[in-house]
Amino acid sequence: MLQALGIDGIDLLDEPEPCVARGTPLGLPSLPVLVKAGGFGDDGMLPRLCHLVRHPPAGPPPDRGDHA
């Protein structure tokens, strides 16, 4: 889907929920992107993720020390 929009990659920021990646498209740092596979998560996961996109935390995400 992202390739169809001309997006070649994502700058990953963190993992706000288990197995959910948050980042921004390369070249578009103001556009938040969440990547999640289907089939898991509780009933509150999507509302929490929507809240995160609408109200991102101030400052940079915590450094997890696992950068490639």
> Could you report the average pLDDT of every consecutive run of 10 residues in the chain (68 residues)?
88 94 92 89 93 83 51
CA–CA dist 10, 31 (Å, integer): 10
CA–CA dist 14, 23 (Å, integer): 7
Per-residue confidence (pLDDT) for residue 15, from 0 to 100 = 94
Per-residue confidence (pLDDT) for residue 67, from 0 to 100 = 45
CA–CA dist 53, 65 (Å, integer): 23
Global pTM reads 0.73
